[in-house]
Every structure is written in structure tokens, then in C-alpha cells.
């Protein structure tokens, strides 16, 4: 397992990274490593023990440093599913070409691959009871491809695999002359179109029109070759690659001894181009789809990989297994990366991935034996999802796994919008008997990592723009002590007006009536008393007298 540690401001400081196994009663330390960062990104590797079958939870921990600003991104949890099974590969060829010989030798040395080879035409003098390789596909199964994970087809003529073998129960239905095949999960089909041969059908479902290109005859000098370019963002730049750095990976592809002849197929709209041929007339990405050398396409439940040349063995020139075995080994392990872990003799059941991010769909899948489906043709299947840690056995969610006509032995469904957490799912069937032991498997939904916790480095250019736009100043870490000097107190005044009605207060109302009563008081005698008016100006009194005189 490769770990990438991102730090800021800890260059030259030793940091201890601890790998723990967390699926037990208490965390168990697997390994500790001390690393000294020299830049923002630092890589290190851990060896994960794969001795116990099942799903195992792990966590990576980095102790909180004394002057660390964020301590909520020092832990990363993940899980690994270990299956007790090797990749079952079937290598099918018409005759033992160079490509077949190198592939058969490489896979035979790989302990993680269970290889079976079939060569239809091979030298046989009759001195031994049988040829070195079988000359026909296995016939003890309903389908010759039912018990394998990956089928690699080379230069196989359409008539060498019959319609009954293609259309046997458990095989993805195809029409005649569609020779790209593998049963199960993912399918690999390397080329095998000889010079002058008829159009191959390997690219059906991946490529459209085929073109033949060459710069020499087989056996020409290694300098005469067609260069290969990895398509940015494809599997050739991610899962099936030669270097973790995309630029370095593309450089390796461009330096590989390219083919001296090839078949180019125009990729269909749903196909993905992994690599393309670098031809003089190439103008851009649009031409890459017309010059695809390696392309990938989903077909039925499986997947097809088309390789338009048969000379990957040339990649061994003066470097041995460095590129050839790495490419094919990664391709096979990628093809079987989603093997279903739980099951019995009748069915295999589980999630497509043991970990998904929050918001992604959880694909639950079953694969049934053809004999079992023949016994129970009205089989009804569903998956019940339970949250780990809940005492209740009531399912948190239920997912139906419907039957699909084009996938006779496969049934799958999707669980959507599951909240983050650990889950276990069990298979429930009606009108059939799967035995006394329930089939259960586990998976996890992880919360998404926020960019603020992943990318902790400062964007200096953006910060400078924000400071200039707001009239501030950008201070680096060694200038933080100047911050108090730049902060000046600001004086601000504000007038606040409040209205207070007199009748809202009792004492104010009493005072008002007291003043009013003192102003309008009299002596109380019958004839009255005359009192000199107060508060009336002389001019007002004079005007009143003039008014009375005018009346008389």
C-alpha cells in the first residue's frame, strides 16, 4: 500500500506514521515508519498482511505535532477485502506465436495467477499420448468460460469456437464472429490479426472500422516502429500504468518498442481509448479515437479490452519483465479486482466495492450457477442492508436484485444515498433453498474528504489578490509578529434616539395631572374671584379689549 503524506512547514522534521488494524476489539499496530519530508508531498509504502480471508479495517495515524494548525486530518481509515482465490486466466491461441509464448511464460511464473492454455494448432509427432497444451476448450462445464475470471484471446479464427460454446449457459450472448470473450467480470482480448489475414472480430463492441498500418515486415529492426501514446485520464494513466506520475507514465509509453504493424479501430462512442498510435497525420484527441491501439468497452456484464497489435513481447528488449510482465500482471489483477467474496456452491454474493464515498451508489451483485437456476426458475432475490452496531435485525434498506434477460446468471441492484458508516448486507431468496448458513458480506460508506483538509498548502497568489482587493496585506509565517503593529484601534460614534410616551410611565402621568390641576384651580366662592391671568402677554390682552370695544 502506497501512502502519500502532505505537509506544510514540516520540511526536515521527522514524522512517525503508524498503520493500525481496527477491526478487532482494540486497535492493533501493524507497522510504524518514520519519514522526514523534504517537500509538500512525501510517499511511503506499507506491506499489508493478506493471510486472513475477509474484510479487514485499517487506519493510518500521524501524531499531532506541537505547532500543527489542523489536527483533524491526521487519520485516514480504509478497508481491504481478502479473498482466498487466485486469478483464473484462460489463454486461447490458434498457434504458439511469440506473443503467446511470452505471455504463457510470464503467467506461469506468477503465483497469483492460475493459468490454463489452449492452442488449437501445435506440432505433434504422436510420440506422447497428448500434446503439450490442450487442443480444444474444456468441455466438462456448461460453458468453457464458466469457471474462469479472464479469457485472453489471441489469433483465433471464428470457426474454432463454436456457437454452442459461445451461447452456452452462463456465457454472455453474442452473435457469430464475436470472438472477444471472457465469462464473469471483465474480459480481455489481445489482438491476433496476422498480416494479410481477414478482419478480426475481436474488436466487436469496442471498435468500428478497422485499418491496417505497418512500417515493415515482422522481424524488422527495432528502430522501425510506431510510437504509442497513453491517453490522458485513461486506465493506461491510472490503474494500468508504468509510473505514478502521469507525465512520466506517458513518457514510458512513448519510449516502448512499438509495433511494426498494427490494426487500428475507430472507437465506438461508449468505448474508452487507453492508448493510441502516434501517426504523422494525427491532429488531436479526435484522431486518437480513430487510431486506438488499446481500447476498453463494457459489454453485457463483462468488459472487453482490445489490443490492436501482437508484439508486447518486444517491451522486454534489454529490460526483461520491467514493462511486459508489469502491464499484463496489472491488467489481469485489474480484471479480477472486484471478485465477490461471500457465497457457496450455488451463488456468489457481495458488493462491487468494499468501500464507496458518500453519495455514490453501492452495487450489490449475485452470480448463480446455471444448474441452480434450472432447478429454481422462479427465483426471487433481494438484499437486506443493516447498519453495523445496531442491535435491531430490521433492515436499514432493502434492494431488489432483478433478473435481466441478457445476463442469465447475474442479478444486481443499487443502494443509493446511504449515510456514512459500516454496513453488512445479507442475501434473501424466495422459492429456493440456499442452505442453513446465511450469506452475508460487509462494506463501508466513507464521508467525503473536504478540500480544506486534503490540500493544506497555501495558495500565495490567491491570498495576495484577496489582500490587495480588501486593502490588506499578505503576511508570511515569519512576519506574523508584525500583525499587532498593523492593527490600529478605530473610533466610531453613533447617535441613538428613543421615544418615550408620557402615559407609559405612572409617575410621569401623575406629575402631568398635578401640573394641570395647579394651573386651572379657583377660590370656590359663589361670586367668583378675579385673578390676574398668568402667562398672557400684554399684546394679547390689548387685542382682546379692542375686540370688545368694537362689539359695543
What's the pLDDT tens digit per position in 156-206? 887 788 777 766 544 433 322 223 332 222 333 333 333 333 333 333 445
**280 has a pLDDT exceeding 70:** no
The Cα 259–Cα 66 span in angstroms is 57
Domain ranges of the chain: 2-83, 87-335, 342-446
The Cα 399–Cα 414 span in angstroms is 7
Average pLDDT score over the chain: 76
Closest CA to 160 of 123, 134, 129: 134
The Cα 109–Cα 96 span in angstroms is 18
% of the chain beyond a pLDDT of 90: 16
**458 has a pLDDT exceeding 80:** no
The Cα 202–Cα 180 span in angstroms is 5
Tell me: domain 2-83, CATH 2.60.40, correct? yes
Specify the higher pLDDT residue, 497 or 215: 497
**47 has a pLDDT exceeding 60:** yes
Paired strand residues for 398: 384
Of 168-172, 250-254, 291-295, 310-314, least confident by mean pLDDT is 168-172
Q: What's the DSSP call for residue 203?
A: T
Protein fold of 87-335: Rossmann fold (3.40.50)
The Cα 534–Cα 519 span in angstroms is 9
Does 342-446 match 87-335 at the fold level? no
Q: What is the pLDDT of residue 140?
A: 60
Q: What is the 3-state secondary structure (H, E, C) of 407-418?
A: EEEEEEEEECCC
**253 has a pLDDT exceeding 70:** yes
The Cα 264–Cα 279 span in angstroms is 11
Pick the CATH number of 342-446 from 3.10.20.30, 3.30.830.10, 3.30.70.1290, 2.60.40.1930: 2.60.40.1930
What's the pLDDT tens digit per position in 60-96? 999 988 878 777 788 888 888 777 667 889 999 989 9
The reported pTM is 0.56
The Cα 490–Cα 355 span in angstroms is 54
The Cα 319–Cα 323 span in angstroms is 8
Sheet bearing 342-343, strands edge to edge: 342-343, 347-351, 362-368, 407-415, 403-404
Q: Which residues contact 507 (CB under 8 A, 6 or more apart)?
A: none
Cα–Cα distances (Å) from 348 to 184, 303, 361, 440, 441, in that order, read: 11, 19, 20, 10, 11
CB burial class (10 A; 0-12, 13-18, 19+) of residue 158?
middle
Q: Give the model's confidence band at 20: pLDDT under 50 very low, under 70 low, under 90 confident, else very high.
A: very high
Per-residue pLDDT averaged across 357-382, rounded? 86
- Asked whether 41 and 5 are in contact (CB, 8 A), the reply is yes
- Asked whether 490 and 107 are in contact (CB, 8 A), the reply is no
Q: What's the DSSP call for residue 290?
A: T
**404 has a pLDDT exceeding 80:** no
Specify the higher pLDDT residue, 538 or 500: 500
The Cα 63–Cα 71 span in angstroms is 9
Amino acid at each position: 500500500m502506497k501512502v502519500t503524506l502532505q505537509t506544510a512547514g514540516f520540511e526536515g522534521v521527522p514524522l512517525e506514521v503508524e498503520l493500525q488494524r481496527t477491526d478487532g476489539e482494540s486497535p492493533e499496530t501493524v507497522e510504524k515508519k518514520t519519514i522526514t519530508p523534504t517537500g509538500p508531498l512525501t510517499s511511503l509504502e506499507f506491506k499489508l498482511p493478506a493471510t486472513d480471508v475477509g474484510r479487514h479495517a485499517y487506519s493510518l495515524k500521524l501524531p499531532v505535532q506541537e505547532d500543527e494548525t489542523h489536527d483533524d486530518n491526521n487519520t485516514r481509515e480504509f478497508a481491504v477485502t481478502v479473498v482466498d482465490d487466485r486469478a483464473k486466466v484462460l489463454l486461447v491461441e490458434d498457434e504458439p506465436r511469440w506473443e503467446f509464448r511470452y505471455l504463457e511464460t510470464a503467467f506461469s511464473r506468477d503465483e497469483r495467477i492460475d493459468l490454463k492454455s489452449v492452442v488449437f494448432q501445435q506440432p505433434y509427432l504422436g510420440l506422447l499420448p497428448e500434446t503439450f497444451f490442450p487442443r480444444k476448450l474444456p468441455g466438462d462445464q456448461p460453458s468453457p468460460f464458466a469457471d474462469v475470471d479472464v479469457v485472453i484471446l489471441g489469433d483465433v479464427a471464428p470457426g474454432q469456437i463454436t456457437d454452442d460454446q459461445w451461447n452456452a449457459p452462463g456465457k454472455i450472448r453474442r452473435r457469430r464472429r464475436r470472438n472477444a470473450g471472457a465469462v464473469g467480470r471483465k474480459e480481455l482480448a489481445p489482438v491476433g490479426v496476422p498480416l494479410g489475414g481477414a478482419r478480426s472480430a475481436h474488436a466487436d463492441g469496442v471498435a468500428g472500422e478497422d485499418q491496417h498500418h505497418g512500417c515493415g515486415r515482422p522481424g524488422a529492426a527495432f528502430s522501425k516502429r510506431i510510437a504509442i501514446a497513453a491517453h490522458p485520464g485513461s486506465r493506461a494513466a491510472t490503474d494500468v500504468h508504468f509510473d505514478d506520475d502521469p507525465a512520466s507514465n506517458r513518457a514510458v509509453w512513448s519510449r516502448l518498442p512499438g509495433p511494426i504493424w498494427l490494426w487500428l479501430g475507430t472507437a465506438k462512442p461508449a468505448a474508452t481509448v487507453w492508448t493510441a498510435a502516434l501517426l504523422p497525420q494525427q491532429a488531436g484527441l479526435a484522431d486518437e479515437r480513430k487510431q486506438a491501439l488499446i481500447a476498453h468497452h463494457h459489454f453485457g456484464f463483462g468488459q472487453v479490452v482490445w489490443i490492436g497489435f501482437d508484439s508486447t513481447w518486444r517491451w522486454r528488449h534489454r529490460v526483461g519483465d520491467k514493462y511486459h510482465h508489469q502491464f499484463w500482471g496489472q491488467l489481469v489483477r485489474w480484471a479480477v479486482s472486484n471478485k465477490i467474496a461471500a457465497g457457496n456452491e450455488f451463488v456468489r454474493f457481495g458488493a462491487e466495492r468494499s468501500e464507496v464515498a458518500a453519495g455514490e451508489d453501492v452495487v450489490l451483485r449475485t452470480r448463480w450457477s446455471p444448474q441452480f437456476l434450472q432447478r429454481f426458475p422462479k427465483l426471487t432475490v433481494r438484499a437486506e442492508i443493516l447498519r453495523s452496531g445496531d442491535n435491531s435485525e430490521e433492515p436499514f434498506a432493502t434492494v431488489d436484485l432483478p433478473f435481466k434477460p441478457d445476463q442469465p446468471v447475474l442479478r444486481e441492484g443499487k443502494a443509493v444515498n446511504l449515510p456514512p458508516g459500516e454496513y453488512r448486507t445479507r442475501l434473501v431468496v424466495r422459492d429456493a433453498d440456499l442452505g442453513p448458513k446465511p450469506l452475508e458480506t460487509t462494506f463501508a460508506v466513507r464521508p467525503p474528504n473536504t478540500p480544506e483538509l486534503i490540500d493544506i498548502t497555501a495558495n500565495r497568489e490567491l491570498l495576495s489578490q484577496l489582500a490587495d482587493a480588501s486593502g490588506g496585506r499578505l503576511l508570511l509565517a515569519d512576519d506574523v509578529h508584525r500583525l499587532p503593529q498593523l492593527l490600529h484601534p478605530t473610533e466610531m460614534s453613533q447617535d441613538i434616539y428613543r421615544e418615550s410616551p408620557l402615559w407609559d410611565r405612572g409617575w410621569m402621568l401623575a406629575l402631568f395631572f398635578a401640573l394641570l390641576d395647579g394651573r386651572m384651580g379657583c377660590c370656590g366662592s359663589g361670586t367668583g374671584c378675579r385673578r390676574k391671568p398668568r402667562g398672557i402677554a400684554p399684546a394679547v390682552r390689548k387685542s382682546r379689549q379692542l375686540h370688545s370695544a368694537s362689539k359695543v
